[in-house]
Structure 1
Amino acid sequence: MLGTHTNPIQIDEARFAGRRKYNRGRMLGGDKPPANTDEGAQVQNNRNHGARVDGPWVFGLKHGNDCRFFYVERRDKDTLLPIIKRECEGGSVIHSDEWPSYRCLTSEGFIHETVN
């Protein structure tokens, strides 16, 4: 189990796509754009929140050098809380963002501190 009162656990979730951001060093011609690229095409973003990404949700816990990652279908309380309870010792300090699924951590016996 992860966690102590003096060494906090960091938790977060992210969504990943199945493609590389940069192709450098991966294949011959990696610095060249693909031949079928439309020069006039522009990437649409979501009001300065970045482009939509399709891929799995990954939930991570970090305690010192110990990092644990889990593929999750959803990032709601019913999905994430059982993982946190299974992997973290009760009474541990947990640092996270203010995602609504983490609001119950204090009532579940953890010391929850937010970074946002």
Structure 2
Amino acid sequence: MIFDKEYDEFLKKFRHFLMNSRYGLCNACNSTTRFVSVDSWTEICTWNVCKRKESILSNTIISYRKKTLKFYFTVFKLMFQSIKLKDICTLLNCSYKSIKSISRKINNNVKEKYYDLIKPIGGPNLIVEIDESKFGKRKYNKGHRVEGVWVLGLVERSEKRKIIYIPLADRKKETLIKIIRRFVLPGSTIYTDCWKGYLGLNEYFNHLTVNHSVSFVDENTGVHTNTIEGNWSLMKRNVPIR
């Protein structure tokens, strides 16, 4: 199977991590647990009265797996390399239904974890450029119009060039300011265009704008949002049209 070397390396590191990690807690009695077997991915409660056994893969996207862990590892690798689902089916000789199910679980899991994993950007003496862009072309599909999704992009002007993308339910002032306050640190200087949804940001940040109907760079202040706008075309190339 493809990715044999990568899987063996992953397994080696994962086993080492499990054997050297701290004990977990039993879901039944809250006592400490220890690993019975790394190969079976099973841990057992250390309390003699309980002795509950449970897979460490419980409550994960492969909890009720019918395939091997190696199979899922390979699917994940292919998916994150943007290989189409139908091509993954051909490579692994499996049904489209199975791969589609795994893909759906991954997407749902990413959505659930995404916001919790994002660390705020910016801070004192740092500039954060902010812009929105629509993803998905407008078209008619079985009698109804598909409008696409608006995405808010935030990029920190620094050596690390930290970027955050947030899907938007709408572009209203309340929505945008709530998101920006959550993901941009106090003391930041924010650059945006003159979209009305950004009105009021100056209550929380040093907010400067550029009027794109006049120029892309403000002649007086030098303010521009070219950094975040330059990322949109690159990002959209990797997003399939539905």
Q: Shorter-chain TM-score: what band?
A: 0.5 to 0.7
SS of the aligned residue for 1:90 comes to coil
Q: Distance in 1 between matches of 2:184 and 2:176?
A: 12
Q: Distance in 1 between matches of 2:205 and 2:187?
A: 4
The structure where helix makes up a greater share of residues is: 2
Percent of pairs identical after alignment? 38
Is the Cα–Cα contact under 8 Å of residues 125 and 187 in structure 2 kept in the other structure?
no
After superposition, give the CA deviation of every residue in 1:14-50 in whole Å (9 maximum; x if it has no partner).
111159xxxxxxxxxxxxxxxxxxxxxxxxxxxxxxx
Q: Distance in 2 between matches of 1:91 and 1:7?
A: 8
> Does 2:197 match 1:101?
yes
Supply the AA of the counterpart residue of 2:205. F
Cα distance 1:5–1:115, how it changes in 2: closer, same or farther (>3 A)?
farther
SS of the aligned residue for 2:155 comes to strand
Larger radius of gyration: 2
Q: Which has the higher contact order (CA 8 A, sep 6+)?
A: 1
Q: Give the CA RMSD over aligned residues.
A: 1.8
SS of the aligned residue for 1:106 comes to helix
> Deviation of residue 91 (structure 1)?
2.3
Q: Which residue matches 1:69?
A: 165
Please list every run of 5 or more consecutive structure 1 residues that lacks an aligned counterpart in the other structure: 20-52
Q: Which residue matches 2:151?
A: 58
Supply the AA of the counterpart residue of 1:76. K
Q: Distance in 2 between matches of 1:99 and 1:88?
A: 18
Q: Which residue matches 1:8?
A: 127
SS of the aligned residue for 1:14 comes to strand
Please list every run of 5 or more consecutive structure 2 residues that lacks an aligned counterpart in the other structure: 1-119, 139-145, 212-242
Is the Cα–Cα contact under 8 Å of residues 129 and 155 in structure 2 kept in the other structure?
yes
After superposition, give the CA deviation of every residue in 1:87-107 in whole Å (9 maximum; x if it has no partner).
111221000000111110111
Q: Distance in 2 between matches of 1:4 and 1:90?
A: 6
Q: Distance in 1 between matches of 2:187 and 2:134?
A: 29
Q: Which residue matches 1:24?
A: none
The two structures have a TM-score, normalised by structure 1, of: 0.64
Supply the AA of the counterpart residue of 1:13. E
Task: Give runs of ≥4 in structure 1 deviating > 6 Å.
Answer: none
Q: How does 1:35-46 map to 2 (within 5 A)?
A: none
The structure where strand makes up a greater share of residues is: 1
Is the Cα–Cα contact under 8 Å of residues 171 and 197 in structure 2 kept in the other structure?
yes
After superposition, give the CA deviation of every residue in 1:38-95 in whole Å (9 maximum; x if it has no partner).
xxxxxxxxxxxxxxx8210001100031110011110111211111011111221000
Supply the AA of the counterpart residue of 2:152. F
